[in-house]
Structure formats: structure tokens, C-alpha cells
Structure 1
Amino acid sequence: MQKWIQQPSDSLLMLGDFNASYYVFPYEVNPDTEIVIKGQFSYARYMSFTLIGQIDTVIATAPDQALIPDPGSTNPFLPGANWNANNRNYTIKIRPTAPPQGSEHFVPEAGNNTFYAGNLKDGSPNRFGLIGLRIYVPSLGYDKTGGVELPKITYCAVERDYRKTKLARVFQKNELPENPLNSISILNKKTSIHHCSDIVGQNCDLTWSRIGVIATRILQPDLNTVYIVSEQIKRDPGKLLFIRWKAPTFPDTYHNIGILGNENMRYWSMSFITRVGLLGLYTLSDFQTIVDKKGYVNLVISFGASRPSYVTPENGFNWIDASNLPLVPLTLFYRNNQVSQGFPYSAKNIPEGEIVPPEVMGKYYPCGKYVDPLYFNSCCLDYNDKLNKDNC
């Protein structure tokens, strides 16, 4: 047997989401040994298993929906399934062979969901690697595992004679593979009222890109998540960074409401990360975000400037004081997890490392502008109801 190793969200090269928990265990490909993982589906927004091979190459990811439960159990992540099902068991096997001819590296089957770890995606032999487990946003009232404890890992002899077999290499806790990337302008108070929402569709100051090929290899990503990263943020204490985008819909599993299947995606979040070391520093997730009456996120980020009186939750704003974060170069990391096939406004079709044009994501593109703090003293959000100009 073997235990899971927790990887904190602010670990080196994690780009971690602070509303997620990450766990790994190292394995070694041994032709006499099969690894069996038995667990229960979490009460959480999302969970997945990722098979990672040598040199940190991601081989396959099994999201929660793809896991077929044990006989007599329910997968609560399927649309319309019983979220509070008592019997929610699954079994995963890690086999030391290449997949059968014509098969993928992950094959779902009731009580026998199987990863094939014998070779990499390019067909070359694989000798060792990691199994990664992600659990996002445990539901209200549950612990980091989503109320089901961590899955049990057992090493079994392939011939089922349970003779002593060679175990996987043991890493030190939190040890990671060697890193191969070694002045405010004054506005006239008589300025006519403009709409804060005018930022959408204008030229944006922030440029977003898909994470590159090298990062994809090093960061052990979940292959069911689209990641875009901004250019370096300008930490100007005299300016505010105002980012506005249409909020994708998501299931409210945090309040123990099951998945309907008509959501735009399973999960999204905006995180601050360091440019050096790729450490996660802070995360604003979908369920924590204030969405205005037209369905938009209005995120205002300060680097030392005071909070304008109009920038309040009641007026539809989210406020982050980034001056409280370490004084290091920062960038933003936007996650879109399990994007619905019927939702075209994501960067999933943009090649790795390339810039994401705003028109690809439309209103869902996080358009960022550096503005003077007094910008918010002369604007209103463009609500459908009557504007309260006294507050503008």
C-alpha cells in the first residue's frame, strides 16, 4: 500500500488554484505489478486522475464523468444523477503494459477503469511517473477530499498470487522533478457619465495566450481544462486594472445542488501566479465571484491605489488589493474546466503558446484596461433597470 502526497497550491511549478487540492503518488512500471485505486466520488465540483509518465509527460486524464462506477454505485457527476447517492464507489487500475492496439491510454469500464502506463503517447517505453488527483471546490460542509477521504492505493501481483513485488520509488514529501526551465490624472467632475461596461469590445491592455508546449509538459495539466495566461501585470500604484468579461455558467455543487448538464462549463477561476517559479498566490473562483445584473464579472485590481467609493459588491464589483501579494512580477491565469461542447466561447481551439484573439471568446474574453481610480467616479454599469445617477 502507499499514501498520497499532497502538493500545496503554492508549490513550485503548480500554477495552483487555491480552491483545489492536489495529490500525487509516484509509480514504477513493473511487469509483475498492477496498481489498484479504490475510492468514492467526492462531494465536490470536479475531480480527475492524470497519468503522468517519465520526463513529466502527461499520458492521459480521466475526468470524473468518464469514470464508470462500480456495480451498484452511482457516478454523481453525470448530468441529472443523484448528487447525494450513498453508493458512489469506483475502481481504477494502473497496468504496466501498452494499451491494446487501437485503444486509448485510458479505458473506462465498470469496476475496472484502466490506465495503461507501459508507454508514452508517442509509443516510446515508459518506466516511471506520477498519478495525480485533483479535487476542486469541496461542497459546503465537507473537507478537502469532498467528504470521502483519499482513495486507497494497493499494489497487486498481476498473477494474483500476492507475492512480494518491487514497489514504486518513494519521493520526499513535496519534492518535484528537476526543473528544466531553470501619478494620478485629475478628471473634471463635470465629465459626462459613461458606462463602465464600455470596456467590453474596446482595445484591451491585457494580452492572453494559451500556455506553451514546454509549460504543458512541465506543469502536468489536466487535459480537460483550457488554460490561458496573461502577459505580465504592470504594478502601477497610481492605476487600477479593470477586467470585465461575461461569466460562464457553472453548476452550484458548492451548495450541494447536482449537475444539470446545461452549464457552459464545470468550473472557472482567475488566479495570480508568479512569473518566476510559477507559484500560485491567490484565486478568485466562480462561486466566490460577484456577477452583475447583466451576467458580467467586473474585477478591479489595485496595486496600492485606494478603493473608489463606487466599487462595491452592491454595484456589481469584485475588488482585489494586489499590493498585499508578494512584490514579485505577477501574471493572471484563467482556467476553463470541462467546457461544454455547445459553448464556443473558449480558447480550446487556439494552439498552445499562441495569442488568444478577443473575437474568439467574444464577451467571455477577460478584457483588461488600466484606468485612473477616478474613472469609477464618473461611470455607471449599464444595467437594464433605471440608472442611479446619484451614485455615479
Structure 2
Amino acid sequence: MAAATAIPIAAQADTGSSGGGACTWATEMSPRTLDRINVAYPDTNAWYWIMPYDIGPDTTLTIKGRFPDARYISFNTYDSNRANFTNGAASALADYRITPDAGSVNPWQQTSAPGGDYTITVRPDTHASDPNVLPLAPAGVTSGKGYLIYRMYMPAQTPDSSSLPQVTVTTKGVAHTYGSCVENSGGLRTQLLRGIQTLAEFVPGKMPSGTDFVRVAGAGAFPNGDNAYLVAGATRPADGKVVVVHAKAPTVPAGSSPSVWPRPGTDVRYFSLCNNESSVLGPVVYNPQPVGTADTGCRADSETRLDTAGFYTYVIADESQRAAVEAIPGATFVPWSAQHPGSTHILMLRNMLPADGFDSAIQRVAPGASAADTAARLGEYYPRSTVCDLNAVTTGTCA
């Protein structure tokens, strides 16, 4: 759910008003489901829960939850085409814009520990001035399907189903409160198979194949409007050479807990670089390890090493070269696919929620702008890729 489009597979469980076995958050895409669902260029530091709902002129959703211990959360509603929309209010609500319940504190609004309560309403009639309200559907749409997505980046602890927000669906005055069924792995597999049947509709448009980074638009299914992306094509070099990506890093909040936003001296809420295989499913690199874990192609800002001037150096290399790369001061190892090392890869750099004064955010680049214009706009924050001998990276002579 991630990349230029976010998740392409919608939940198959229904949440109509009958209450007959329905549940919320039936589809989860996260690090713990990556071995089963690895599509649409996911960021492996992000968690997504999807809930479809029936649109009706007298239908409302009430979301009650607690502010989690995480870097970022948001709620979005989408139309039947899996697209953002505006109907009085925008269909996206980021953490720092959520008004807490009476007696509670939003830790993205003022310094506080996580755990305060909030209530969000999804309804047909909305106004931009209404706090904690999302539109149910575009203007004039009174039937069909809509989608609610709850996003979380960099949780301090692994989320469980009991911590997810509670959703009450009210139709014609009758309210039903639904439990979560995200633990149903069998259902998850069924949803995946069903989703693949129509996946071509939701996969992002063709990614640029050039080796220079350019911005792609957030077209496709379930876009997260808080993110913007630069992408570049990459192919594993021969003779043990590596691909090096170098630029200045934007400043970010420290750690995985909420902090007041906007935050003076902080450029973006989050950034990452991910290495993905270029295929119809758009999987992120996923290399199982002998100890039972997996090394993925994503490196969040918290996993990115910087030099004394605040520049990163990502080194895309084989797993066998990892120790050598990690011995280089300021270098961050990113793996090629061990299963398909010869395939074309897509490097994707994300920026989330830029501060108003940060003029070198990816969001400031027009989608489709040339690499030269993008580099001119971003300056030292523009990522430049080079093929080098690993020894040249070690000695600092890779240019």
C-alpha cells in the first residue's frame, strides 16, 4: 500500500448493516503479511488496514480509537474507484489534524504520551470546518462501495487486532459495532487470490525505466496524499560492482513515538528508500535469511546512516556484500533481490508530510518533470545514482 499508489487489493469482507458475520479491518498489509502479500511497491515500515463499506444516504461510520505509539497515522476514505475525493471536506485526515475527545490529548498537537481517545465520523454531509469528519462518498453518489483505510508508520510495538479502532456502522437508525478479523490468515489468503484476479486494474502505471530519479504521480488505487515519490530504474551491475545513491537527507522526528507537528527544524515526517522488483505485482525485495527472518529492500530514515554533513549513501549490493558495505562509515546497505538478481529493479524514495518551509521536498516537484528540472528544484536533496566498484565506495573515490 504504498508506493505511488498504495494498496491495490481491497478487502473482500463486507460491513453492511446486517451484522451477519461482518467485521472491520479484514485486510491487513504490513511487515507480518509480507510473505503472503507483497504487491504495489510496499514500504516495509508501514501498516495498512482496509475496510470496505456500503454507501447510503443515511449511512454513517463512527470510528473510536486511541492515539497509538507510532511515528504517523491517518484515516482516508476512497470512492469505488479507490481514489481520493472531496465532498465538503477532504477524504483524508492525518494524525495532527485529529481533535481528541474531551479530557484527552492528541500527542501530535501537544506534548503528551500516546493513549488519548478520539472519535471520527464518516458521513454523507460534510463541511471543511467540521473537526474529525470524513466524507462517505463523492457528491451525488448514494450507493455502491466505499473504502476506509487506517495507516500507521513506524509503530513502537507490533500492533495487534485489539488495538485497532472500533467501527460502528449506522444505517437507517440501526447501529452495529464490528470486531476485527485481521487475525484470520485463511481469509487473508482468500482475499489475496480474489484481488489478484482484478489486480491489473489497480497496479500503478508503468514506472520510469531510466536511472535518473523523477517524480511519479500518486495515480492508481488508494493513494496516500501525505506521500510523494521519486523513482529510478536500476539493474544489478556485473563484476561485483554496486549502485550508489547519494544526497542530503531531510531532517525527521526522532524515534517511533508521536511528536508535535509541525515541528521547528524538522523537514518531513518520514522518508525511506525502497528497492523493488519491476513486475506486474510491484513487490519489494524480500530475501529470506537462514535464521528465519527476511531482509527487505526498504530502509527507513531511522535505519539510514548519515555522514557529518547530513548526507546519506545508500549502497545497493548483494547480500554477500553486506558486511563490507556496513563497514563503510556513513553507508547504508540495501539488497538486490536474491531470487531474481538479474531483473530490473525500481528504486523509490519517499517523503511524507513536508514542513511548509521545506522547499526541497519531493512534493515541490511537478509530477512528470524531467530529471534535470527535478535536480534543479531539489538541489543537494536530489538523489544521484552511480555504478562503482565497492572498493571505490570504501575509499571515498566513487563519483
SS in structure 1 at match of 2:105: coil
Q: Tell me: CA distance 1:3–1:374, structure 2 relative to 1, closer, same or farther (3 Å).
A: same
2:259 maps to a residue whose letter is: G
Q: Is residue 252–residue 259 contact of structure 1 (8 Å, CA) maintained in 2?
A: no
Give me the whole-angstrom Cα distance separating, in 1, the residues matched to 2:148 and 2:255.
25
Q: Is residue 255–residue 302 contact of structure 2 (8 Å, CA) maintained in 1?
A: no
Give me the whole-angstrom Cα distance separating, in 2, the residues matched to 1:18 and 1:258.
22
Q: Is residue 40–residue 282 contact of structure 2 (8 Å, CA) maintained in 1?
A: yes
Give me the whole-angstrom Cα distance separating, in 1, the residues matched to 2:199 and 2:326.
45
Q: Tell me: CA distance 1:245–1:52, structure 2 relative to 1, closer, same or farther (3 Å).
A: same
Q: Is residue 39–residue 283 contact of structure 2 (8 Å, CA) maintained in 1?
A: yes
Partner of 2:302: 287
Q: Tell me: CA distance 1:235–1:380, structure 2 relative to 1, closer, same or farther (3 Å).
A: closer
Q: What TM-score, normalized to structure 1?
A: 0.75
Q: Tell me: CA distance 1:220–1:14, structure 2 relative to 1, closer, same or farther (3 Å).
A: same
- Equivalent residue in structure 1 for 2:215, among 210, 218, 226: 210
Q: Is residue 265–residue 337 contact of structure 1 (8 Å, CA) maintained in 2?
A: yes
Q: Is residue 67–residue 114 contact of structure 2 (8 Å, CA) maintained in 1?
A: no
Give me the whole-angstrom Cα distance separating, in 1, the residues matched to 2:154 and 2:398.
30
2:231 maps to a residue whose letter is: V
Larger Rg: 1
Q: CA deviation at 1:253?
A: 3.2
Partner of 1:36: 62
- Equivalent residue in structure 1 for 2:277, among 274, 277, 280: 274
The count of residues paired between Structure 1 and Structure 2 equals 331
Partner of 2:10: none
2:223 maps to a residue whose letter is: P
2:306 maps to a residue whose letter is: V
Partner of 2:52: 26
Q: Is residue 99–residue 106 contact of structure 2 (8 Å, CA) maintained in 1?
A: yes
Q: CA deviation at 1:326?
A: 3.4
Partner of 1:237: 238
Partner of 1:173: 191
Q: Tell me: CA distance 1:134–1:338, structure 2 relative to 1, closer, same or farther (3 Å).
A: same
Q: Could you list the runs of 4 or more consecutive aligned residues of structure 1 that deviate by over 4 angstroms after TM superposition?
A: 123-126, 161-164, 303-309
Give me the whole-angstrom Cα distance separating, in 2, the residues matched to 1:108 and 1:305.
55
Q: Tell me: CA distance 1:56–1:377, structure 2 relative to 1, closer, same or farther (3 Å).
A: closer
Q: Is residue 299–residue 334 contact of structure 2 (8 Å, CA) maintained in 1?
A: no
Partner of 1:198: none
- Equivalent residue in structure 2 for 1:3, among 18, 24, 30: 24
Identity %: 22
Give me the whole-angstrom Cα distance separating, in 2, the residues matched to 1:271 and 1:151.
29
Q: CA deviation at 1:347?
A: 2.3
Gaps of at least 5 residues in structure 1 are: 165-169, 183-204, 383-392
- Equivalent residue in structure 1 for 2:112, among 33, 58, 83: 83
Q: Tell me: CA distance 1:153–1:294, structure 2 relative to 1, closer, same or farther (3 Å).
A: same
2:191 maps to a residue whose letter is: K
Gaps of at least 5 residues in structure 2 are: 1-18, 86-90, 178-186, 204-209, 286-296
Q: Is residue 92–residue 114 contact of structure 1 (8 Å, CA) maintained in 2?
A: yes
Q: CA deviation at 1:372?
A: 2.5
Q: Tell me: CA distance 1:325–1:22, structure 2 relative to 1, closer, same or farther (3 Å).
A: farther
SS in structure 2 at match of 1:115: strand
SS in structure 1 at match of 2:138: coil
Partner of 1:153: 167
Q: CA deviation at 1:300?
A: 1.2
- Equivalent residue in structure 1 for 2:144, among 108, 119, 127: 127
Partner of 2:385: 368
Q: What TM-score, normalized to structure 2?
A: 0.74
Give me the whole-angstrom Cα distance separating, in 1, the residues matched to 2:202 and 2:57.
33
Q: Tell me: CA distance 1:360–1:240, structure 2 relative to 1, closer, same or farther (3 Å).
A: same
Q: CA deviation at 1:98?
A: 5.0
Q: CA deviation at 1:206?
A: 3.1
Q: Is residue 242–residue 299 contact of structure 1 (8 Å, CA) maintained in 2?
A: yes
Q: CA RMSD in A?
A: 3.1
Matches within 5 A, 1:189-338: 206-212=211-217, 216-230=218-232, 232-238=233-239, 239-254=241-256, 256=257, 258-259=259-260, 261-262=263-264, 263-276=266-279, 277-281=281-285, 282-303=297-318, 306=321, 311-313=325-327, 315-324=329-338, 326-327=340-341, 328-338=343-353
